[in-house]
Amino acid sequence: MKWLILSLLCIQLSECLHRMPLHRGKSKRSILEERGELKHFLETHRFDSALKYRALFPNLPAQMGNEPLLNSLDTYYYGSITVGTPPQSFTVLLDTGSSNLWVPSVYCYSTSCDNHAKFDPSQSSTFSSTGKSFSMSYGAGSLSGYFGYDTVTVAGITISHQELGLSKLEPGSYFGYAPFDGVLGLAYPSLARGGATPVFNNMINDNLLEQSLFSVYLKRNSNSQDGGEVLFGGIDYSLYSGQITWVPLIQEVFWTIAVQSVIINGQSSFCSQGCQATIDTGTPRITVPHQYLTEFLQEIGVQVNPSTDYLVNCDNIPNMPTLTFVINGVEFPIPASVYVIRQNGFCIAGFMPTYVYPPTNDGPLWILGDVFLGAFYSIFDMGNNRMGFATAV
């Protein structure tokens, strides 16, 4: 048995190195050595084969778990999980802007629940109720229900006693039209309603991950539903180029960092005194502090008319300026071809106003949502309370 495991590991490592992109004829090993990442690459891939054949070797540690994402109109990125014993399947929005996990329940009497999978606790032998109720709201949509504990599996990683919300009321139409059933929050525990421990923190607490981080890769303008991945416990070195820029968090609630300036047309037009930005997979666009929005849109050549959803002439995209965020002294440029969203034959500037009052005194708040995340491979390192960014491939 031991030789079989070692053989599988060697095969998987060979496959991983083979898939690394070539640069001017250099070997993949040379590329990693130049980056100073070979040792880490070998370490983080050592259990990949075991995970692939985990059903044969149930006692092997999980180490890393890859959650493939579905992309709905470059607006929602969601994956699949199971809850209960035997497992019941759901799709959930992977949301770094919230901390709770919830899914609809069979006791939900809102029409919004009718189009979605609903969890039946009576059919799970491992379910237990906490007796606590909850209510929460997002930028769009709200719900209420009650908390319980059950077995939850995400990206092939199983948490045996995960607290989750079961909705009973989902007013309005937002969640009814959403392509996903529920939400899996990936922000810090201090943001969780009801004092629930988030899924990612339970992975860490149960020693299910090699590293206390997860990485996000979002695919944009895809003709298919392939939306990229969330990798729990590791970094996929094949999905970015260049070096990773590490940035400390300025709070441990949301994933919030300092932004030194915002550059348009070569001019630092905004954040002259500094700004802050929350990195949020649950926000489709980049949100601009409302006091800047009019001037900001004029700078990039967009008519200020919210009723038209900031429509732009698709033919003008090559002439529109690059938007650059300066973070920890490093420039992160986003060309118009990235920040303009194409939907159903229309072109829309991927921005909206921020009306949220910043939780700290580090300047006006931006939210760097999926438009930003599509351009940069992003690492959410809770173990070191920092973010990492590199150019996505």
| pLDDT value for 62 | 54
Domain boundary among 227, 259, 292: 227
Residue 4 clears pLDDT 70, i.e. is over it: no
Residue 385 lies in a domain: yes
| pLDDT value for 304 | 73
Residue 119 lies in a domain: yes
| pLDDT value for 257 | 97
Q: What is the CATH number of the domain that holds 159?
A: 2.40.70.10
Decide: 63 and 234 in contact? Cβ < 8 Å.
Answer: yes
> Which residue type does 81 have?
I
Sign of CA dihedral 108, 109, 111, 115: positive
Strand order through the sheet with 261-264: 267-270, 261-264, 323-327, 330-334
Per-residue pLDDT reduced to its tens digit, 139-176: 778 999 999 999 999 999 999 999 999 999 999 888 99
Q: Does residue 281 sit in the same domain as residue 365?
A: yes
Q: Does residue 274 sit in the same domain as residue 373?
A: yes
Residue 383 lies in a domain: yes
Number of domains making up the chain:
2
Decide: 366 and 228 in contact? Cβ < 8 Å.
Answer: no
Q: Does residue 338 sit in the same domain as residue 259?
A: yes
Q: Does residue 102 sit in the same domain as residue 203?
A: yes
**Helix axis angle, 2-19 to 28-35, nearest 10°:** 80
| pLDDT value for 321 | 95
| pLDDT value for 48 | 39
Tell me the H-state helices in the chain: 2-19, 28-35, 38-44, 48-52, 174-177, 199-205, 293-300, 336-339, 370-373
Per-residue pLDDT reduced to its tens digit, 374-392: 999 999 999 999 999 999 9
| pLDDT value for 229 | 97
Q: Does residue 177 sit in the same domain as residue 293?
A: no
> Which residue type does 78 have?
Y
Rounded CA-CA distance 33/53 in Å is 29
Q: Does residue 286 sit in the same domain as residue 212?
A: no
Q: Does residue 101 sit in the same domain as residue 84?
A: yes
Is 280 marked active-site?
Answer: yes
Beta bridge pairs of residue 148: 129, 164
Residue 308 clears pLDDT 90, i.e. is over it: no
Q: Does residue 182 sit in the same domain as residue 265?
A: no
Closest among 83, 162, 163 to 131, alpha carbons compared: 163
Q: Does residue 215 sit in the same domain as residue 331?
A: no
Tell me which of 280, 362, 370, 381 is the catalytic residue. 280
pLDDT confidence band for 307 (50 / 70 / 90): low
Question: Where in the sequence is the domain holding 197, given as residue range(s)?
Answer: 66-227
Q: Does residue 86 sit in the same domain as residue 208?
A: yes
Q: Which of 38-52, 187-201, 288-302 has the lowest mean pLDDT?
A: 38-52
| pLDDT value for 223 | 64
| pLDDT value for 281 | 97
Of residues 79 and 312, more confidently modeled: 79
Q: Does residue 259 sit in the same domain as residue 363?
A: yes
Of residues 357 and 278, more confidently modeled: 278
Residue 64 clears pLDDT 50, i.e. is over it: yes
Mean pLDDT on 291-312: 83
Q: Does residue 70 sit in the same domain as residue 214?
A: yes
Domain boundary among 197, 227, 257: 227
Pairing label, strands 226-232, 213-218: antiparallel
Residue 50 lies in a domain: no
Mean pLDDT on 216-222: 88
| DSSP state, residue 60 | S
Pairing label, strands 65-72, 76-83: antiparallel
Per-residue pLDDT reduced to its tens digit, 173-195: 889 999 999 999 999 999 999 99
Residue 24 clears pLDDT 60, i.e. is over it: no
User: Taking all residues of the chain, what is their mean pLDDT, rounded to a whole number?
Assistant: 85
Decide: 151 and 84 in contact? Cβ < 8 Å.
Answer: yes
Tell me which of 95, 236, 362, 370 is the catalytic residue. 95
Is 150 marked active-site?
Answer: no
| pLDDT value for 273 | 84
Residue 145 lies in a domain: yes
Residue 239 lies in a domain: yes
Residue 53 lies in a domain: no
